[in-house]
A and B are shown apart, each in its own frame.
Chain A
Amino acid sequence: MQILNPMSARHLLVRTGFTPSENELQAFVGMTSDAAVDRILAAARQNKTNEPLPAFINGSVFKPQRELSQEERQEQRRAQILEGVSLKQWWLWEMLTTKNPLAERMTLFWHNHFATSQQKVVRSVAMWQQHQLLRTNALGSFATMLRGIVVDPAMLIYLDNANSRQGAPNENLARELLELFTLGEASTSKAYSESDIKEAARALTGYSIEPETGAFVFRPRIHDTGSKTIFGQTDHFDGEGLIDLILKQPNTANALARYIVSKLWLEFVSPTPNPVVAAQAADAFRQSGYDISAALRVLLLSDDFWAQSNRGSLIKSPIDLLVGVARQFQFAVSTPEVLVNRAAGLGQNLLMPPSVKGWPGGVQWINATSLLERKRTTEQIFSIGNSMNASSLGMSFDREKFLKQYGATSEREPEPVVKGKLAEAMLATRQVTTAVPSGTVGSAYIRALTLDPAFQLK
């Protein structure tokens, strides 16, 4: 246990949410690490949202494709995708305004884990329903979320299960259920074989959707009722039986816990899991009946999480970067649209992950194109001011108020000690560039810090 100073409080808040404002940060300074972690977990478990829900969730109409002409299909697709855009914007508002950033981060974590793209699903309401499933269970029971996923209409469409039938099972959902959602790659987890995938696909036949309503439906007539051998057990398994096996068989339960914890590690701690601590977290996860908070609590209180060597060892996702800037500097944002689009331009298009594997993440966020684009974006955001040219981004912030917190003003070059404070507030690790020209005044100094390579780290 430790008492949080501003640097460690910042670290905890960046990793469990987005870059904090000075006020958010000060609220944690002086707390013990245990109390701080428990406070964050408890707040996020409540998972209250702020903004009025997107309007389409009650009024969206989706007609079965076969009733429509080619033109009508395209028109319907456009309308559904636009409704999806309003969901993205709503979500981004939540990220900007939430008092429980961990809830948003974990919802995004599960969206990346159970990656589903509206490009294929099209149905906006199905995307919303999946979003609710992930949000509701984001820090709760992984078992509940997993049971929800195999009857989730968006997932059944995305992984081609809606038409999977006895005699011609589609293996897509079964394969990803084992490989990406629960057990990890077969060669790593050693918990299942190719034949388990084929048998699991039979168990999932008949898990379909109602074309008119888009609701989940189990179709007994195309479900394979025969006996299947999965993980060495033979029975007339269906989808629920399959999930029970995964959760309860010691071999798969161990593999599942290890796999989920290793993904949480990469998201919250560092690029390289410490096997001893990861095993402790996996035990806590399994023994709690797959309580996600229980696993996360172990990781967030581990020495590895707080180690100096792991500070600034993760790369900000586009959402981290943009929402972090908006929150830290208390930007007034007139519409989330620009931020949603910028994040997409930087490689993170919400509701449209590139594949069922989700966003590759980590170092793959950064290439020459995306790095220059990130810098151009922050440069543009912080060019707000006299010329007003940044109003194209629809964002403004009170520069004097921000700078005053560190004893700086927008018209004067900061004193060396003030420069140090600004760097500590804005960078997760030490500044690389000493190249900020002398004479750079307060607000330009902030802009220059956003161009430092360390600004991409968290």
Chain B
Amino acid sequence: MNRRELLASSLAAPIGIGFSGFPSLGFAQKISNQDRVLILVELKGGNDSLNTVIPYANALYAQYRPTIGIKQDEVIRIDSQQGLHPSLAPLVPIWEKNELAIVQGVGYPDPNLSHFRSIDIWNTASKSAEYLSEGWVARGMKNGLQAAAGKAFTSEGVLIGINEQGPLAGAEAISLRQTESFVNQSRLAMPAELAANTSFAHILGVERAIVDAANGLRGDKYAFKTEFPNGGFGQSVQTAAQIVAGQRGKAGVPVIVLSLGSFDTHVNQPGNHANLLKQLAEGLAALRHALTEVGAWDRTLVMTYSEFGRRARQNQSNGTDHGTAAAHFVMGGAVRGGLVGQAPDLARLDSSQNLRYTTDFRQLQATVAKGWWGVNPELVVRGKFDLLPLLRA
């Protein structure tokens, strides 16, 4: 048996059993900050939270959603009040392993209902009436994460299939659809040591970052046993897993952003939404499987986000309009599973008939800053926010 076959046979071993190629790390073992990976999953368009994490026992739920509501007997119950959309079945094993936290009622004061504006607010961790250009992750980089790495990251972040820099705006991030095509395109970059002025220096810095990222991402693809779902999101998940696997032992890529959507379900929501949630759940389950396979699950934190949730009452078109607070998923080998925070009160809607948020989204970001990166959270979210018990000690 040559080395390759040995590797293949050990990969066939059941998930969770460590093997010599990639010993799985107990979380008790010190994982340094720069080995950790944050995978953000943007649910583009505003996910309908009430049909994702469902308050099935509340009579108002059925009343608000006479035709698009999920029937009680179809809900996957997670406690006496809340349950999951049936399409989320692939997440159940993760929930049962206590590696999935569901943060309820996430939003912010004075909510803005424009897709573009609200996602900017999330991405930059700004106040509702404040316009910032730097992403919250980029602030994390500058305020400690970069320095903690000790050496240059392959790239400070990779956005997969997304052109806007979002939470990485202002960081040395790249976006790509597939690693190979990015590495190939990097031939267009021409770094040089010369800078007559600040604009020129900036461009040359970006040229250099492209080449560095391409050099760091170049190399053989890891051959996963994990099967990834078909479709765009499944491919993005596969690319993310490839990057994590390929960066082992390097300073690597600390942040990866994926996106799925559109969740903007104004019309005929049920079928579309079920399909999107299925892609999400299958993708996330495959991601866990793959990262467990390479022993990286304990150093990976996955977090969903979305510009807003949707209106409590369904509209006239079997859909839902732009809303406010929403539940979000946080998962990983280091996550302390369970429901976190308060579900919004269905009986106490705001003046625009929207849910009142109970957890500020900046609490999630602050928790990542402090708990995952070891960075002062106040510099990342620009203020003091209570941290959430998302990570195991």
A70 at the interface (CB under 8 A from B): yes
**In this complex, what residue of B is CB-closest to A371?**
B206
Query: A372, B185: Cβ atoms under 8 Å?
Result: yes
Query: B267, A74: Cβ atoms under 8 Å?
Result: yes
Query: A369, B174: Cβ atoms under 8 Å?
Result: yes
B203 at the interface (CB under 8 A from A): yes
Could you list 5 examples of A-B contacts with CB < 8 Å? A313-B200, A369-B159, A369-B175, A376-B185, A433-B192
A contact residues around B159 at 8 Å (CB): 369
Query: B189, A371: Cβ atoms under 8 Å?
Result: yes
Query: B194, A432: Cβ atoms under 8 Å?
Result: yes
In B214-250, the 8 Å CB interface with A consists of none
B207 at the interface (CB under 8 A from A): yes
How far is B207's CA from A172's CA once the two chains are assembled, in angstroms?
A: 39
Which of A270, A355, A368, A375 touches B131 (beta carbons < 8 Å)? A355
How far is B267's CA from A355's CA once the two chains are assembled, in angstroms?
A: 27
Query: A369, B165: Cβ atoms under 8 Å?
Result: yes
For the complex formed, measure the closest distance between the CB of A71 and the CB atoms of chain B, giving whole angstroms: 6
B393 at the interface (CB under 8 A from A): no
A contact residues around B131 at 8 Å (CB): 355-357
Known: A345-B163, A429-B200, A433-B190. A120 touches B267 (CB 8 A): no
In B82-131, the 8 Å CB interface with A consists of 114-117, 120, 129, 131
How far is B165's CA from A366's CA once the two chains are assembled, in angstroms?
A: 11
Cβ proximity bits B186-199 to A, threshold 8 Å, 1 near / 0 not: 10111010101111
**In this complex, what residue of B is CB-closest to A358?**
B131
Q: A451-B190, A456-B203 are in contact. List 11 more A-B contacts (CB 8 A).
A: A172-B129, A312-B196, A312-B197, A314-B199, A367-B169, A368-B209, A371-B189, A371-B203, A371-B206, A375-B188, A453-B203
Which of A367, A379, A429, A456 touches B165 (beta carbons < 8 Å)? A367
A contact residues around B116 at 8 Å (CB): 117, 119, 354-355
B210 at the interface (CB under 8 A from A): yes
Q: Which residues of B contact A (CB under 8 A)?
A: 114-117, 120, 129, 131, 133, 155, 159, 163, 165, 169, 172-175, 185-186, 188-190, 192, 194, 196-200, 202-204, 206-207, 209-210, 213, 266-267, 315-317, 319
Query: A372, B189: Cβ atoms under 8 Å?
Result: yes
B contact residues around A238 at 8 Å (CB): none
**In this complex, what residue of B is CB-closest to A356?**
B131
**In this complex, what residue of B is CB-closest to A272?**
B198
For the complex formed, measure the closest distance between the CB of A279 and the CB atoms of chain B, giving whole angstroms: 23
How far is B288's CA from A37's CA once the two chains are assembled, in angstroms?
A: 63
B contact residues around A360 at 8 Å (CB): 133
A contact residues around B267 at 8 Å (CB): 70-71, 74
A452 at the interface (CB under 8 A from B): yes
How far is B202's CA from A367's CA once the two chains are assembled, in angstroms?
A: 9
Query: B317, A271: Cβ atoms under 8 Å?
Result: no
The size class of the interface chain A forms with chain B is 35 or more
B contact residues around A70 at 8 Å (CB): 266-267, 315-317, 319
Query: A432, B213: Cβ atoms under 8 Å?
Result: no
For the complex formed, measure the closest distance between the CB of A193 and the CB atoms of chain B, giving whole angstroms: 16
A contact residues around B206 at 8 Å (CB): 366-368, 371
Query: A454, B188: Cβ atoms under 8 Å?
Result: no
How far is B188's CA from A371's CA once the two chains are assembled, in angstroms?
A: 9
How far is B207's CA from A251's CA once the two chains are assembled, in angstroms?
A: 45
A187 at the interface (CB under 8 A from B): no
**In this complex, what residue of A is CB-closest to B114?**
A120
B contact residues around A357 at 8 Å (CB): 131
A contact residues around B319 at 8 Å (CB): 70
A-B pairs, top 3 by smallest CB distance, nearest first, are: A70-B317, A375-B188, A368-B174
How far is B298's CA from A227's CA once the two chains are assembled, in angstroms?
A: 63
**In this complex, what residue of B is CB-closest to A375?**
B188
Query: A371, B120: Cβ atoms under 8 Å?
Result: no
How far is B190's CA from A375's CA once the two chains are assembled, in angstroms?
A: 11
In A362-389, the 8 Å CB interface with B consists of 362-364, 366-373, 375-376, 379
For the complex formed, measure the closest distance between the CB of B124 and the CB atoms of chain A, giving whole angstroms: 10
For the complex formed, measure the closest distance between the CB of B210 and the CB atoms of chain A, giving whole angstroms: 5
How far is B196's CA from A452's CA once the two chains are assembled, in angstroms?
A: 15
A309 at the interface (CB under 8 A from B): yes
In A406-458, the 8 Å CB interface with B consists of 429-430, 432-433, 435, 451-454, 456-457
Which of B117, B173, B202, B266 touches A366 (beta carbons < 8 Å)? B202
How far is B188's CA from A142's CA once the two chains are assembled, in angstroms?
A: 43
A139 at the interface (CB under 8 A from B): no
For the complex formed, measure the closest distance between the CB of A346 and the CB atoms of chain B, giving whole angstroms: 9
Known: A354-B120, A368-B174, A371-B210. A457 touches B315 (CB 8 A): no
For the complex formed, measure the closest distance between the CB of B197 and the CB atoms of chain A, giving whole angstroms: 4
How far is B131's CA from A368's CA once the two chains are assembled, in angstroms?
A: 23
Query: B199, A74: Cβ atoms under 8 Å?
Result: no
Query: A432, B117: Cβ atoms under 8 Å?
Result: no
For the complex formed, measure the closest distance between the CB of A431 and the CB atoms of chain B, giving whole angstroms: 10
For the complex formed, measure the closest distance between the CB of B29 and the CB atoms of chain A, giving whole angstroms: 34
Which of A354, A360, A453 has most chain B Cβ within 10 Å? A453
B contact residues around A74 at 8 Å (CB): 266-267
Query: B175, A368: Cβ atoms under 8 Å?
Result: yes
A292 at the interface (CB under 8 A from B): no
Known: A368-B206, A368-B210, A379-B188. A362 touches B200 (CB 8 A): no
For the complex formed, measure the closest distance between the CB of A338 and the CB atoms of chain B, giving whole angstroms: 17
B contact residues around A58 at 8 Å (CB): none
A175 at the interface (CB under 8 A from B): yes
B contact residues around A312 at 8 Å (CB): 196-197, 199-200
Query: A368, B172: Cβ atoms under 8 Å?
Result: yes
For the complex formed, measure the closest distance between the CB of B2 and the CB atoms of chain A, giving whole angstroms: 39
A contact residues around B190 at 8 Å (CB): 432-433, 435, 451-453
**In this complex, what residue of A is CB-closest to B120?**
A355
For the complex formed, measure the closest distance between the CB of B207 and the CB atoms of chain A, giving whole angstroms: 6
B contact residues around A364 at 8 Å (CB): 133, 169
How far is B120's CA from A356's CA once the two chains are assembled, in angstroms?
A: 12
Known: A371-B203, A371-B206, A457-B203. A309 touches B197 (CB 8 A): yes
Which of A69, A315, A345 touches B203 (beta carbons < 8 Å)? A315
A contact residues around B197 at 8 Å (CB): 270-271, 309-310, 312-313
**In this complex, what residue of B is CB-closest to A452?**
B190
**In this complex, what residue of B is CB-closest to A433?**
B190
Query: B317, A366: Cβ atoms under 8 Å?
Result: no
Query: B266, A119: Cβ atoms under 8 Å?
Result: no
Known: A70-B267, A368-B172, A368-B174. A453 touches B133 (CB 8 A): no
A contact residues around B115 at 8 Å (CB): 119
How far is B316's CA from A369's CA once the two chains are assembled, in angstroms?
A: 41
**In this complex, what residue of B is CB-closest to A364?**
B133
A contact residues around B120 at 8 Å (CB): 354-355
Query: A313, B117: Cβ atoms under 8 Å?
Result: no
**In this complex, what residue of A is CB-closest to B319?**
A70
**In this complex, what residue of A is CB-closest to B117?**
A355
**In this complex, what residue of A is CB-closest to B196?**
A429
Query: B199, A362: Cβ atoms under 8 Å?
Result: yes
How far is B197's CA from A312's CA once the two chains are assembled, in angstroms?
A: 8
A contact residues around B163 at 8 Å (CB): 345, 369-370, 373
How far is B159's CA from A70's CA once the two chains are assembled, in angstroms?
A: 34
A contact residues around B316 at 8 Å (CB): 69-70
A contact residues around B198 at 8 Å (CB): 271, 313, 363
How far is B199's CA from A309's CA once the two chains are assembled, in angstroms?
A: 12
In A221-245, the 8 Å CB interface with B consists of none
Cβ proximity bits A55-69 to B, threshold 8 Å, 1 near / 0 not: 000000000000001
B contact residues around A362 at 8 Å (CB): 199
For the complex formed, measure the closest distance between the CB of A187 and the CB atoms of chain B, giving whole angstroms: 13
